[in-house]
Structure 1
Amino acid sequence: MTGAATSTGIFIILCALIYIRWTRWGIACDEQYIYIRKGLFGVDYYCFPIFKIQQTTFKQSILQKNSKLASVQFVLASGSLKIPLISQALAYKLINESLFTVESSEKSWM
């Protein structure tokens, strides 16, 4: 009986941690920057200029496609940032607007 109680307790703790992490995810963007908020115990904020994006990746599994969800990854010179489980329309909008900004910007990404 104690094994079942222990495994149930661990399961509840893991579910709580997943829920906390899920509630801390956030994304915002304006004309010049993209802001990403994520974290588990603390909250980390990432902010980067859109013209510094070097590559974008749109990923969608079969289950995500049925729910119209997707994941987007932005590759910068300093590393990459992934935004999981956002709506498909928002993912396409972020990619299209960021690539348009990169193409039309006269600024160097270096």
Structure 2
Amino acid sequence: MNENNQLRDVFDAIADPTRRRLIHLLVDAEELPLELKGQFQMGRSAVSKHLAILKEAGLVLDRKVGRETRFRLNASPLREVQDWVAFYSKFWGTNMLRLNQLLEEEEE
């Protein structure tokens, strides 16, 4: 777990396409209410469960505004994903360079 004391793994939280779409919506808006009319073909309780999983992973913060709960993105846990992908991008970069060299040698 990282400094956010997460209850859920970030990779698990972003594995679902609905949660990735929620993250995308939160990037585009500073805050969103739970009522995301027309954004999903599911009920309020299903959206709420997805937001709860993102919150457990530290990716979503919420605050009460009257009777409404508003959600916003906390992107810092995504650094773990970025670091993991960066490690493997070095692997692919090196392999592509080797492949390019091999192809150039075959052309000669």
TM-score (normalised: structure 2): 0.26
Of Structure 1 and Structure 2, which has the larger fraction of its residues in strand?
Answer: 1
Structure index of larger Rg: 2
Of Structure 1 and Structure 2, which has the larger fraction of its residues in helix?
Answer: 2
Greater RCO (Cα-Cα under 8 Å, separation 6 or more): 2
